[in-house]
Amino acid sequence: MQHSLALPLLDRLRIRSPRRQLEFPLRRSGMSGSLLGLMLGLAALAALAVALVPPASYLLALRAHEAGRLEARAASLAHELGRRSWLVEREDHRGARGILRQAAAPGAVPEHVRLLGADGAVLVEVAPPEPLAAPILTRRAVVPDGAAARGEVEVRRSLRPALRKAGLLSLLCLLLAGGVFTLLRLLPMRMLRRALGEASYLATHDTLTGLSNRQAFQDRLGQALLSAQREGRSVAMLIVDIDSFKEVNDAQGHAAGDMLLREVARRMGQGMRASDTLARIGGDEFAIIQAAENQPQAAAGLARRLLALMEEPVMLEGQPCQVRLSIGIALSRAGQPTDPAQLAHDADMAMHQAKQARQGGYHFHSPELGRKLRERRQLEQDLREAQAQHQFRLAYQPLVYLGTGQVSGGEALLRWHRPGHGDVPPDRFIPVLEESGLIGAVSAWVLETACQEAARWPARMSVAVNVSTAQFRQPGLYEAVEGALRRSGLQPHRLELEITESVLMQDTPETLATLRRLRAMGVRIAMDDFGTGYSSLGYLRRFAFDKIKIDRSFVQHMAQDPNAKAVIRAVVNISQTLGIRALAEGVENAEQAELLRQEGCAEVQGYLFGRPMTPEQFATLHGPGQRAT
Ligand SMILES: Nc1nc2c(ncn2[C@@H]2O[C@@H]3COP(=O)(O)O[C@H]4[C@@H](O)[C@H](n5cnc6c(=O)[nH]c(N)nc65)O[C@@H]4COP(=O)(O)O[C@H]3[C@H]2O)c(=O)[nH]1
């Protein structure tokens, strides 16, 4: 996946300062600490309740029960004595004692019973053989004698047996409380620990590949840089981007894309040493920290290992997919403080440089590279202004019938005069337009302008317009062509779209569908730079082209190189067999023109017949029968 340099890795990989690196674990442990404290408190409270509430309520209930029974007992004795009031009156203590003794049932709970006179003096006392053990419950009842009170009966009993039972219950409850506490503490602890473990895994890992994620990578990079600084070593940071991952994702779907990422991650893991850190930091971007001794050789070695590990194609749903990596490497200065954000930025710039080579590989960041990338950013900025300020122009180069010398049409070629720099070749700025996303707007302008211009040319002449891969990736190409034709009134067969092999290399159903719709509209499709790709011939089978443009490299060498001449002959033959027109590009001299004529090539283009020129100059070639010189 390509990223704009205007949005460097710095923004995607927000490197935090060492202080912030410490915050996360602290915050995490702080969070779990307070949660654990709360769980502990709740478990203790529940256990306390289980330990105390049942024995205390039992004790209270038992005491109330005992008090009721004692009251009833005192009242019954007082009633009996009242009924026989003469016993008290005659101070017949023996008789009263008999009543009190008789009342005490044998084998019943030991109790201490006293008859008190009206003055409170003890008249009769029946005490158990052993003194009652504390705590003692006492209840009194008045001995009735009509309206007057003759005295009181006092009954006392020990609460010790009830306490003993409550104690036993307490013991049981304590045991139970222990169980409750353990359960409440351990169970949530275990769940919490598991949840925290999972959360911490998710916070530090990429779930698709199982590698460290950006967050964890940031932390480790900061730590690695600090320890390398202490030890006087250098750290290498590598950023690895999978070329054409987007194409796989678009063409074969996300499941295939995921499979590719997992396989690339697995293979990369094989190239790592235990001390290296590999992380996935973005869609198709991986980053590595290598803390080896012998830099930069170690980093270069690692990059080469990674490239070698990708040589074997990855099988995606039965289809082999050749993976190419672009690797950027930046090194920290040994023993010196390094800003992690700067290192990441440098590695990112180097990765983009590797990507520009367009064949996979690795690239070290260097001050020279930094300068080049700054220049490139400036170029992109200037291109934005160029677009806003209408600085682009079109030049037209004549396409000529070799037999008659008549101009068959013109190829529209984009021109930009960069203020302060002069004319910039399209080969230099078109890739920047493509990478910055400006290509859509600029090529829409090219189409519009070329169609408007060609509509003023004689009806036998057509206009050729280049369409790049990036234009096919953006939606709306068909609509742009259709709109340009409608507004200009140019007939569709007079518009020829030149595409290169790279467009068909994408080979997505959408690309072919767009090409077919354009052709169905009547627009002609030409294959540009034929013969320079790997499988130009193969593409002739996939799509019915109207024209083949033989690359100028063959024309340039045909006079000296029999092979180049043989290729031209073969292509002309094939085109004649398939009923496709063939045009030879880059004809610069009469000898080349003559050789091409002998080979039967019908149409040519090149400096011999006319350089790219202004629309006004091109108009001078229009006259009927007008021949290019
Ligand atoms: N040495 C030599 N060169 C010759 C001769 N005859 C023509 N040329 C050059 O060959 C290029 C032909 O265009 P191309 O192959 O489509 O290659 C084009 C095309 O791929 C791209 N390009 C130009 N305009 C556009 C555009 O509007 N859109 C897109 N997408 N690409 C464009 O830029 C490339 C370069 O364009 P130019 O620099 O204008 O270069 C032009 C032209 O000036 C010759 O006899 N000798």
Query: Per residue in 191-219, pLDDT tens?
Result: 878 888 888 888 899 999 999 999 899 99
- Cross-strand bridge partners of residue 152: 116, 142
493 and 422 belong to one structural domain: yes
- pTM exceeds 0.90, yes or no: no
164 and 199 belong to one structural domain: yes
Evaluate whether residue 395 is within a structural domain. yes
pLDDT of residue 5: 36
610 lines ligand 1 (CB under 6 A): no
Evaluate whether residue 2 is within a structural domain. no
Please tell me the residue having the least CA distance from ligand 1 atom 28. Answer: 466
413 and 551 belong to one structural domain: yes
The arithmetic mean of pLDDT across residues 413-421, rounded, is 95
- What is the C-alpha R_g of the chain? 49
Cα 527 from chain centroid (whole Å): 39
pLDDT of residue 629: 45
- The closest-lying atom of ligand 1 relative to the alpha carbon of residue 395 is 39
Q: What is the largest CA-CA distance in the chain?
A: 166
27 in Cβ contact with 35 (< 8 Å) = no
Evaluate whether residue 434 is within a structural domain. yes
Please tell me the residue having the least CA distance from ligand 1 atom 37. Answer: 426
What percent of the chain lies above the pLDDT cut of 90? 45
CA of 431 to the centre of ligand 1 (A): 13
264 and 337 belong to one structural domain: yes
CA of 103 to the centre of ligand 1 (A): 130
Number of structural domains, the chain? 3
Evaluate whether residue 447 is within a structural domain. yes
212 and 342 belong to one structural domain: yes
Mutational pocket test of ligand 1: of 585, 596, 605, the residue with most ligand atoms within 8 Å of the beta carbon:
585
Degrees, nearest 5: CA angle 464-470-471: 50
Over 60: is that where the pLDDT of 27 sits? no
pLDDT of residue 107: 60
The arithmetic mean of pLDDT across residues 564-587, rounded, is 92
Coil, helix or strand at residue 383: helix
Please tell me the residue having the least CA distance from ligand 1 atom 19. Answer: 466
- The closest-lying atom of ligand 1 relative to the alpha carbon of residue 588 is 45
Quote the mean pLDDT of the chain: 85
Rounded to whole angstroms, how far apart are CA atoms 463 and 484? 13
599 in Cβ contact with 568 (< 8 Å) = yes
Q: Is the peptide bond before 135 cis (omega within 30 degrees of 0)?
A: yes
8 lines ligand 1 (CB under 6 A): no
In the 8-state DSSP scheme, what is residue 254? H
Evaluate whether residue 628 is within a structural domain. no
The arithmetic mean of pLDDT across residues 533-543, rounded, is 75
Q: For residue 511, how many other CB atoms are within 10 A of its CB?
A: 21
Domain finish residue from 342, 365, 388: 365
Please tell me the residue having the least CA distance from ligand 1 atom 3. Answer: 586
Domain finish residue from 365, 395, 423: 365
pLDDT interval class at 2 (50, 70, 90): very low
User: Which pair of structure tokens corresponds to residue 406?
Assistant: 């008549």
User: Which pair of structure tokens corresponds to residue 9?
Assistant: 């890795």
The arithmetic mean of pLDDT across residues 242-255, rounded, is 84
Please tell me the residue having the least CA distance from ligand 1 atom 36. Answer: 426
What percent of the chain lies above the pLDDT cut of 70? 87
Over 70: is that where the pLDDT of 493 sits? yes
430 lines ligand 1 (CB under 6 A): yes
pLDDT of residue 148: 53
607 lines ligand 1 (CB under 6 A): yes
46 and 187 belong to one structural domain: yes
Task: Please enumerate in sequence order all residues whose Cβ is within 8 A of that of 205, keeping only pairs 6 or more positions apart, or say none.
Answer: 211, 212, 213, 216
The arithmetic mean of pLDDT across residues 169-178, rounded, is 89
Q: ipTM surpassing 0.90, yes or no?
A: yes
The arithmetic mean of pLDDT across residues 302-325, rounded, is 90
Amino acid identity of 124? V
Query: H-type helices in 84-92, by residue range?
Result: 85-89
Over 50: is that where the pLDDT of 8 sits? no
CA of 550 to the centre of ligand 1 (A): 13
pLDDT of residue 23: 35
What CATH number did the domain enclosing 457 receive?
Answer: 3.20.20.450
Instruction: Indicate the length of the chain as a whole number.
Output: 629
Rounded to whole angstroms, how far apart are CA atoms 388 and 583? 35
Task: Please enumerate in sequence order all residues whose Cβ is within 8 A of that of 284, keeping only pairs 6 or more positions apart, or say none.
Answer: 1, 241, 242, 245, 246, 261
| Closest residue by Cα to residue 52 from 168, 177, 161, 159 | 177
Whole domain around residue 30: which residue ranges?
A: 13-204
- The closest-lying atom of ligand 1 relative to the alpha carbon of residue 605 is 6
- Rounded to the nearest 10 degrees, the angle between the axes of helix 340-356 and helix 367-388 is 70
pLDDT of residue 457: 96
Over 50: is that where the pLDDT of 21 sits? no
- The closest-lying atom of ligand 1 relative to the alpha carbon of residue 551 is 15
340 and 457 belong to one structural domain: no
- The closest-lying atom of ligand 1 relative to the alpha carbon of residue 498 is 16
The arithmetic mean of pLDDT across residues 382-391, rounded, is 94
478 and 603 belong to one structural domain: yes
pLDDT interval class at 534 (50, 70, 90): low
Tell me: the pLDDT tens digits for 49-78?
888 888 888 888 888 888 898 888 888 888
Over 60: is that where the pLDDT of 289 sits? yes
Mutational pocket test of ligand 1: of 393, 413, 481, the residue with most ligand atoms within 8 Å of the beta carbon:
413
In the 8-state DSSP scheme, what is residue 406? B
Min mean pLDDT across 3-7, 100-104, 395-399, 570-574 is at 3-7
Which span out of 70-84, 310-324, 389-403 was modeled with the highest average pLDDT?
389-403
133 and 197 belong to one structural domain: yes
295 lines ligand 1 (CB under 6 A): no
Coil, helix or strand at residue 546: coil
528 lines ligand 1 (CB under 6 A): yes
Please tell me the residue having the least CA distance from ligand 1 atom 39. Answer: 413
Evaluate whether residue 470 is within a structural domain. yes
pLDDT of residue 149: 58
What CATH number did the domain enclosing 246 receive?
Answer: 3.30.70.270
**Is the CA virtual torsion 609, 547, 507, 433 positive or negative?**
positive
Evaluate whether residue 4 is within a structural domain. no
The span from the first CA to the last CA of the chain, in angstroms, equals 47
The arithmetic mean of pLDDT across residues 318-336, rounded, is 89
Tell me: the pLDDT tens digits for 471-489?
887 788 999 999 999 999 9
140 and 237 belong to one structural domain: no
pLDDT of residue 418: 93
Distance of CA 443 to CAs 93, 289, 458, 468, Å? 131, 41, 24, 9
241 and 195 belong to one structural domain: no
Evaluate whether residue 626 is within a structural domain. no
- The closest-lying atom of ligand 1 relative to the alpha carbon of residue 612 is 43
pLDDT interval class at 305 (50, 70, 90): very high
CA of 397 to the centre of ligand 1 (A): 9
586 lines ligand 1 (CB under 6 A): yes
Cα 114 from chain centroid (whole Å): 90
Tell me: the pLDDT tens digits for 437-478?
899 899 999 999 999 999 999 999 999 999 988 888 778 899
398 lines ligand 1 (CB under 6 A): no
CA of 247 to the centre of ligand 1 (A): 26
28 and 148 belong to one structural domain: yes
Rounded to whole angstroms, how far apart are CA atoms 545 and 524? 8
pLDDT of residue 370: 66
pLDDT of residue 382: 96
612 lines ligand 1 (CB under 6 A): yes
Q: Is the peptide bond before 458 cis (omega within 30 degrees of 0)?
A: no
